[in-house]
């Protein structure tokens, strides 16, 4: 499917990615396809409506992040980058150094055309198209039969081969390979293959180009460990996108939350600017409050003295945010989360007694935001 029309690409890749189904990856797409798509940007109207309706429903579950009535070309081009990366995970592509170099050059060119998103619309539209990229996988089939065996990578075996299984002693074994296991084949490990390009950096750049998707998939394995980028920090600076990220991250679970907290600590230790520290502090404190509301139904249990008490769910899943909140106190934290002090005290413990420790977990974040002295004095 080299250089397909925009309608063919939406049909084979984007539509099943958004709606669910079997995506078709066959060959590489070159940057010249983007040029052709610019000249003829509109896919089949019926297909466009189906894709936009499904993406709109998915985005609505995250919040009011933007209307969706079209597929912007930057989102489609970013999907083309992922198409090429997935094509390069096929075993036959592993040893083809020249093909890897071509894929690298083409992916870099398309990413440069896509550019970093600068608006809520661009961020939300890219996530609308690529929000389910983490669910992609390849099903490989091993077939044993009376005359031997055969392997089929990502495709179904011919019907003639598996016909009459009892008579011909046919046995099929299916193995699903998840996305990041597939992408691990793009990495050049060791020092022996210096002439072959490592496509891992391209994958990181493709993830970063869709910041909301990048944040939500923060619990991915190495070498794609999540890092805050200018694009992702810019995205969560927007209140609507920040709320969407909160809901999606909390739905994924504690591993994603902890990956984000670790990335925040890493960014602070590398000397992130104060504005970045303030954005990340707000992000974590708001997610802490939202998590507490979800666990308690909006009301925290009270002690006989009238103080709210903590449950383990929030503090364990968000240790950095909880420590920052306890050190700031409800009064100092309330402006960061946009809640009245009394409301915040009802859903989170208020100014509890803390053991004085030399290096509190939230110290790098509070220091970066210029709040450490006030928090511990």
The reported pLDDT for the residue numbered 358 is 59
Burial class (CB in 10 A: 0-12, 13-18, 19+), 192: exposed
Asked whether residue 153 is domain-assigned, the answer is yes
- Which own/partner contact pairs does 313-320 have at CB distance under 8 Å and 24+ positions apart? 314/288, 314/348, 316/254, 317/254, 317/257, 317/258, 317/291, 318/257, 318/261, 318/284, 318/287, 318/288, 318/291, 319/258, 319/261, 319/361, 320/261, 320/264, 320/265, 320/284, 320/361, 320/362, 320/365
The reported pLDDT for the residue numbered 96 is 85
Q: Are residues 271 and 322 in the same domain?
A: yes
Q: Are residues 248 and 305 in the same domain?
A: yes
Q: Are residues 166 and 296 in the same domain?
A: no
Q: Are residues 145 and 162 in the same domain?
A: yes
Average pLDDT for the chain: 86
Q: Are residues 247 and 356 in the same domain?
A: yes
pLDDT of 176 above 80:
yes
Q: Are residues 62 and 197 in the same domain?
A: yes
| DSSP 8-state assignment for residue 144 | E
Using alpha carbons, select from 18, 62, 94, 81 the residue that is nearest to residue 252. 62
Report the Cα 58 to chain-centroid distance in Å: 15
Q: Are residues 34 and 108 in the same domain?
A: yes
Dihedral over Cα of 281, 307, 318, 129: its sign? negative
Q: Are residues 277 and 195 in the same domain?
A: no
d(CA 105, CA 96): 15
d(CA 264, CA 226): 10
Both tokens of 16, joined, read: 């099943």
pLDDT tens digits, 347-356: 887 544 454 4
Residues 351, 330 contacting (CB under 8 angstroms):
yes
Asked whether residue 323 is domain-assigned, the answer is yes
Asked whether residue 229 is domain-assigned, the answer is no
Asked whether residue 1 is domain-assigned, the answer is no
Residues 103, 111 contacting (CB under 8 angstroms):
no
The whole domain housing 346 covers 239-376
Cα dihedral 92, 95, 97, 103, rounded to 10, equals 40
| DSSP 8-state assignment for residue 163 | S
Residues 311, 296 contacting (CB under 8 angstroms):
yes
Element (H, E) at 145: strand 137-145
The reported pLDDT for the residue numbered 2 is 66
The reported pLDDT for the residue numbered 219 is 95
Angle at Cα 128 formed by Cα 210 and Cα 74, nearest 5°? 55
Asked whether residue 211 is domain-assigned, the answer is no
Which range is most confident: 92-101, 275-284, 359-368?
Answer: 275-284
Q: Are residues 68 and 175 in the same domain?
A: no
How many domains is the chain partitioned into structurally?
A: 3
The reported pLDDT for the residue numbered 376 is 46
Asked whether residue 155 is domain-assigned, the answer is yes
Mean pLDDT of 133-152: 88
Both tokens of 108, joined, read: 């870099």
pTM attached to this predicted model: 0.86
Percent of the chain with pLDDT over 90: 55
pLDDT tens digits, 31-90: 999 999 998 877 888 888 899 889 888 888 887 666 677 889 999 999 999 999 999 998
Residues 336, 375 contacting (CB under 8 angstroms):
no
Q: Are residues 67 and 95 in the same domain?
A: yes
The reported pLDDT for the residue numbered 161 is 85
Give the lowest-confidence range in 89-103, 218-232, 272-286, 320-334: 89-103
Q: Are residues 169 and 189 in the same domain?
A: no
pLDDT tens digits, 287-325: 999 998 876 543 444 433 444 444 445 556 799 999 999
Q: Are residues 335 and 372 in the same domain?
A: yes
pLDDT tens digits, 11-25: 999 999 999 999 989
Asked whether residue 228 is domain-assigned, the answer is no
SS (H, E, C) 338-375: CCCHHHHHHHCCCCCCCCCCCCCCCHHHHHHCCCHHHH
Asked whether residue 213 is domain-assigned, the answer is no
């Amino acid at each position: 499917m080299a250089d397909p029309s925009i309608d063919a690409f939406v049909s084979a890749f984007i539509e099943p990615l958004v709606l669910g189904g079997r995506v078709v990856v066959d060959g590489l797409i070159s940057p010249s396809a983007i040029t052709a798509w610019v000249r003829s940007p509109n896919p089949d109207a019926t297909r466009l409506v189906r894709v936009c309706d499904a993406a709109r429903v998915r985005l609505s579950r995250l919040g009011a992040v933007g209307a969706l009535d079209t597929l912007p070309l930057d989102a489609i081009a970013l999907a083309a980058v992922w198409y090429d990366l997935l094509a390069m995970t096929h075993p036959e592509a592993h040893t083809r150094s020249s093909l890897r170099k071509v894929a690298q050059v083409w992916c870099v060119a398309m990413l440069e055309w896509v550019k970093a998103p600068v608006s809520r619309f661009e961020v939300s539209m890219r996530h609308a198209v690529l929000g389910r990229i983490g669910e992609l996988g390849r099903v490989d089939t091993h077939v044993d039969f009376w005359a031997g065996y055969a392997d089929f990578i990502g495709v179904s075996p011919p019907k003639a081969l598996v016909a009459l299984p009892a008579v011909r002693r046919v046995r099929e074994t299916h193995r699903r390979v998840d996305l990041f296991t597939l992408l691990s084949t793009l990495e050049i490990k060791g020092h022996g293959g210096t002439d072959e390009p490592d496509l891992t950096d391209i994958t990181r750049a493709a993830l970063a180009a869709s910041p909301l998707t990048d944040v939500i998939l923060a619990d991915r394995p190495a070498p794609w460990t999540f890092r805050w980028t200018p694009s992702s920090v810019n995205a969560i600076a927007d209140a609507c996108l920040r709320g969407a990220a909160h809901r999606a991250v909390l739905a994924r679970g504690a591993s994603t939350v902890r990956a984000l907290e670790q990335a925040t600590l890493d960014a602070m230790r590398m000397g992130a600017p104060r504005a970045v520290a303030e954005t990340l502090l707000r992000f974590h404190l708001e997610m802490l409050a939202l998590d507490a509301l979800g666990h308690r139904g909006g009301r925290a249990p009270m002690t006989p003295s009238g103080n709210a008490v903590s449950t383990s769910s929030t503090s364990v899943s968000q240790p950095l945010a909880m420590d920052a909140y306890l050190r700031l106190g409800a009064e100092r934290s309330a402006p960061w989360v946009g809640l009245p002090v009394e409301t915040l005290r009802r859903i989170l413990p208020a100014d509890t007694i803390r053991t004085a420790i030399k290096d509190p977990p939230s110290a790098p974040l509070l220091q970066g935001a210029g709040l450490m002295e006030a928090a511990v004095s």
